[in-house]
Amino acid sequence: MAKRDYATLASGIIDGVGGEENVDHVIHCVTRLRFYLKDKDKANTEQIKHLNGVAGAVYNESLGQYQVVIGQAVEDVYEQVVDQLGDAVIDDEADEVKGDKVVQEPTGQSKKNPVLVAFQALVGTITGAMIPIIGLLAAGGMINGLLTLMSEPTLLNWINSSSDTYVILSSMAMAPFYFLPVLVGFSAAKQLKSDPYVVAAIGGLMIHPSVINLTSAHIVNGKIVTPPLLGNLFGVPLNATYLGIPINIPNYAYTIFPIIFAAWLARPVGNWLKDHLPLALRPILQPMITLFVVGSAVLILVGPVVSVLSSGITALITALLNLNLGIASIIIGGLYQVLVIFGLHWMVIPVLTQQIAETGQSNINMIVSFTMLAQGTGALAVFFKTKKEELKALSGSGALSAFAGVTEPAMYGVNLKYGRIFMMSSIGAAVGAGVAGFMHLHMYGFSGSLIGFPNFASPKDNPNNFLIFWIATGVTMLVSFILVYFFGYKDTDVETDGVQKKNVFKDAVGK
């Protein structure tokens, strides 16, 4: 559809909702225009539904919104609506809608458990920050999956894994994930109304090579330099000092929670500076001080806290594995992706890496593989069940990406937004991983999910290892698909069913 067609469609929609004088505010999500009307009865739903480019229209009583379903072109139509109505219809104080989560607390909503509300709000903020980059993550996941197919000796073996071509393609695929703090920081800052460029710069700080070199062995002038150990905090090594304070700097690549905290904190800090700095100095001092204060808070507070929590979780996982592999597989399989949401899984990665280095296999990675498979299957169930074209496209690409070993598009694009999908998929992961654990499945590599099947092919420790892998895979996919299809999702679900509508910390920020 050309730009002039979007303009024509916007005019028809404006006329259908009662004209310019009937529109108070208008916002949009991934698929819908959401109008706040002065008189909802002036809207002509049948007229709007018959417009070329409109997939449906409905008034949401609980939200006080008249919603017009557009699909993927919603942003183009929204721009034309604003152009024709003027900037007065843009509500800067309204919660921004990202994904399919809803904007505004319905009036007269019954009281809910505050802990549940806070958790739902946090998940809403995370998914809202992730939605704009889901397509990019899915693209990276697909490139990575295709690269595995083309480079794996037991598969196509078209590309040498030591070649420059492999390095470039691998870097291309994983760049969105490595730079996730920068991308999510920018997106979360826009959602939480802090300075997106300052927050993106803080994300760059977190993955800057010089910061990483403070905590890991690196080469200087041809010699290997190993940073000194400065002590430990609850078993977590203190690997750097900042302002004279010993701190732990974890691997921030691929993480999202620390930068979302930075996006939240940057708003009150930036607003306070805006109110107190002289106008002439504000353009320089406001971003400078915000960068310093928020960046320091992340390094001093958030990184060590995440590392301490991760260390405790790693110790618990290790104890479970030593107790009984089958029981451990059920528990870890059901809960592992929850750790991923908050970046608490990173202390587990060195453990599974050490397992592979010392023994050639990893039971932790075996369990993780089924959690990835289950989340992809959950999205696949939505793909087959939904009649919403935009959700079908998102869930289909998310499922393919998860089967290729990258779960973020499925989790943040679909499963977490409708909380029951995530929960049902996690139950499927627990069942499938439990089957694998009780049957003593072994995994001999890093790549997981469906694309990682060659890592289970060896009969070295179990002559039926490959057969067990496919049995556990079938169980995982069957249980996850059935649970999601029948109990996890239906098209009549409202977006708030699994995700709270408002931005987390909004009330704490104050303005």
What DSSP string describes 396-425? Answer: HHHHHHHHTT--HHHIIIIITTSHHHHHHH
For 28, 42, 180, the CA distances from 291, given in Å and listed in that order, are 30, 48, 18
Most confident of the following: 24-28, 244-248, 437-441: 437-441
How far apart (Å, rounded) are the C-alpha atoms in residues 511 and 508?
A: 9
> Confidence class of residue 135 from pLDDT cuts 50, 70 and 90?
confident
Average pLDDT in the 305-331 region?
A: 90
Which of 171-180, 335-344, 429-438, 459-468 bottoms out in mean pLDDT, i.e. has the lowest? Answer: 335-344
| Nearest one of 130, 125, 105, 131 to 29, comparing CA atoms | 131
Average pLDDT in the 96-118 region?
A: 49
Q: Which residue has the higher pLDDT, 51 or 114?
A: 51
Which of 263-272, 392-401, 423-432, 470-479 bottoms out in mean pLDDT, i.e. has the lowest? Answer: 392-401
Average pLDDT in the 431-452 region?
A: 94
Beta bridge pairs of residue 34: 27, 67
Given this model, what pLDDT does residue 105 score?
39
State the Cα angle at 20 between 19 and 21, rounded to 5°. 95
> Confidence class of residue 109 from pLDDT cuts 50, 70 and 90?
very low
Given this model, what pLDDT does residue 501 score?
39
Q: What is the pLDDT of residues 470-506, one digit of tens each?
A: 999 999 999 999 999 999 999 876 554 434 333 444 4
Given this model, what pLDDT does residue 103 score?
38
Task: Examine the pLDDT at 131 and tell me if it is beyond 70.
Answer: yes
Share the mean pLDDT of the chain.
Answer: 86
Task: Examine the pLDDT at 291 and tell me if it is beyond 90.
Answer: yes
Average pLDDT in the 142-166 region?
A: 89
Task: Examine the pLDDT at 101 and tell me if it is beyond 70.
Answer: no
Task: Examine the pLDDT at 94 and tell me if it is beyond 70.
Answer: no
**Torsion angles phi and psi, residue 66, rounded to 5:** -100, 115
> Confidence class of residue 426 from pLDDT cuts 50, 70 and 90?
very high
3-class secondary structure for 159-194?
A: CCCCCHHHHHHHHHHHHHHHCHHHHHHHHHHHHHCC
Residue 437: enclosing H or E segment and its boundaries?
A: helix 419-438
Average pLDDT in the 159-180 region?
A: 93
Q: Which region, left, alpha or beta, applies to residue 390 given φ > 0 means left and ψ of -120 to 50 means alpha? A: alpha
